[in-house]
Amino acid sequence: MRLTEKKTIEQTVQIWEGRAKNGCKDLSEPCPLCKYASHHCHRCPYGKVYGSCCEDETYYLKWVDAMTPKTRKKYATLLLEQLRTL
């Protein structure tokens, strides 16, 4: 069963709440928004508002590149704030 856009956003927020809290760099959990949009950024609720999360200088890529839990928490929190506006 395909999730609704709202439910997909809720799941994504839950994932990023955990990442913002613990600073863990866990890429094992696939992004619900990417799955929802079949990896087409122009169909993604986040991508429609903020552009591709994989573009240069995005909070997501800064989180991926972060070397410490403190820095990962910072960028996860900033990304989470964006997700909550969707």
- Tens of pLDDT, residues 38-56: 999 889 999 999 999 988 8
What is the distance between the alpha carbons of residues 61 and 72, in angstroms, rounded to a whole number? 10
CA triple 13-14-19, angle to 5 deg: 95
Read off the pLDDT of each residue in 5-15 and give the average, rounded to a whole number: 96
CA 64 vs CA 5, 67, 71: distances in Å: 25, 8, 10
User: Count of domains in the chain?
Assistant: 1
CA 56 to chain centre: 15
What is the distance between the alpha carbons of residues 55 and 51, in angstroms, rounded to a whole number? 8
What's the pLDDT band for 1 if we cut at 50, 70, 90? Answer: low
pTM of the model: 0.91
Domain span at residue 32 reads 5-83
